[in-house]
């Protein structure tokens, strides 16, 4: 039976992984593909591998950069550091994706660990801060949630859901202007956001 397009995609992703065991990106994309097909456990397995491979790669590249720096080979050191950062960003993406799957499975404690792992790998990962904020909010830690949402918009000003959460979270007696601004930014960034309640609140 001939392979259909998605099956072929899986074949080529698996082939890329087999050919280069240190290649994290195909693992990440294979996981996304499996998640789409609701093959959650397999997706989690590949995401775990992607995190491990990317982190290992990032550490090796950072170590090589240090060596180059010590030998005054600064250009090479710079290139290694850039590559290392890219690997860490990929590890963060994969960790965050694991967190989202686990959240969907109702495992919020495990999910929180993954989001924390994501911001440890890449401290600029806005969505991981946002997800951590959501968990904190659900657990009634409002102050912490607000800090995390603020961190998310600091890292990525275009993160509409974080602006929206901030619009809700800032108490009306504290700084109504700031809350209103977050609301307007959220709407501006993503007009599809359902803001009926906010409209009621801010007029």
Partner 1 sequence: MGLYGQVRAIREAVINDARTHLEKSIELNPDYSEAHFQLALLLKDRGEIKKAQKHLQKVVELEENHVEGHYHLALLCHEKKDYEKTRTYYLRTIELDPHHADAHYHFALFLEEQEEYIEAKNLLQKTTDIEQNHTQAYYRLARLLTDPDDYDLAKQNYQIAVDIDPDFAEAHYYLGKLLAVGRRINEDGTLVIEPEYESAREHFKKAIELNQDNHKAHFNMGKTLAKEKEYASAEEHFLRAIEIHPDYAKAHYQLALLLIELGRLIPEHPEDAKKASQS
Q: Which residues form the interface with partner 1 (CB under 8 A)?
A: 4-6, 8-13, 15-16, 19-20, 23, 25-26, 29-30, 33, 73-76
Question: Measured from the CB atom, is 29 or 201 closer to partner 1?
Answer: 29
Question: Measured from the CB atom, is 18 or 178 closer to partner 1?
Answer: 18
Q: Residue 39 gets which letter from DSSP?
A: -
CA distance 171 to 9: 49
Question: Measured from the CB atom, is 37 or 172 closer to partner 1?
Answer: 37
Q: What 3 state SS string does 47-81 have? A: HHHHHHHHHHHHHHHHHHHHHHHHCCCHHHHHHHH
Question: Measured from the CB atom, is 8 or 178 closer to partner 1?
Answer: 8
Taking CA atoms, 29 is separated from 35, 93, 192, in Å, by 10, 11, 27
| Number of other residues whose CB lies within 10 A of the CB of residue 149 | 30
Spatial contact of 106 and 89, defined as CB atoms under 8 Å apart: no
Question: Measured from the CB atom, is 9 or 52 closer to partner 1?
Answer: 9
**Ramachandran region, residue 43 (left: φ > 0; alpha: ψ -120 to 50; beta: rest):** alpha
Question: Measured from the CB atom, is 84 or 117 closer to partner 1?
Answer: 84
Least Cβ distance, residue 151 to partner 1 (angstroms): 23
Is 192 strand, coil or helix?
coil
Least Cβ distance, residue 29 to partner 1 (angstroms): 6
Least Cβ distance, residue 13 to partner 1 (angstroms): 4
- Please choose, from the candidates 126, 125, 128, the residue with its C-alpha nearest in 3D space to the C-alpha of residue 111: 128
Least Cβ distance, residue 36 to partner 1 (angstroms): 9
Least Cβ distance, residue 58 to partner 1 (angstroms): 19
């Amino acid at each position: 039976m001939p392979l259909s397009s998605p099956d072929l995609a899986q074949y080529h992703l698996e082939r890329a992984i087999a050919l280069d065991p240190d290649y994290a990106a195909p693992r990440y994309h294979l996981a996304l593909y499996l998640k789409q097909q609701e093959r959650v456990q397999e997706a989690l397995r590949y995401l775990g591998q992607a995190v491990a491979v990317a982190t290992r790669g990032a550490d090796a590249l950072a170590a090589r950069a240090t060596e180059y720096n010590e030998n005054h080979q600064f250009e090479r050191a710079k290139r290694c550091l850039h590559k290392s950062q890219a690997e860490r960003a990929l590890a963060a993406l994969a960790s965050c994706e694991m967190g989202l799957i686990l959240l969907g499975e109702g495992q919020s404690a495990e999910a929180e660990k993954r989001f924390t792992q994501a911001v440890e790998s890449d401290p600029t990962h806005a969505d991981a801060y946002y997800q951590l904020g959501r968990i904190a909010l659900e657990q009634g830690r409002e102050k912490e949630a607000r800090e995390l949402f603020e961190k998310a918009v600091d890292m990525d000003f275009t993160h509409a859901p974080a602006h929206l959460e901030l619009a809700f979270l800032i108490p009306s007696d504290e700084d109504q202007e700031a809350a209103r601004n977050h609301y307007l930014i959220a709407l501006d960034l993503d007009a599809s956001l359902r803001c009926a309640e906010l409209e009621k609140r801010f007029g």
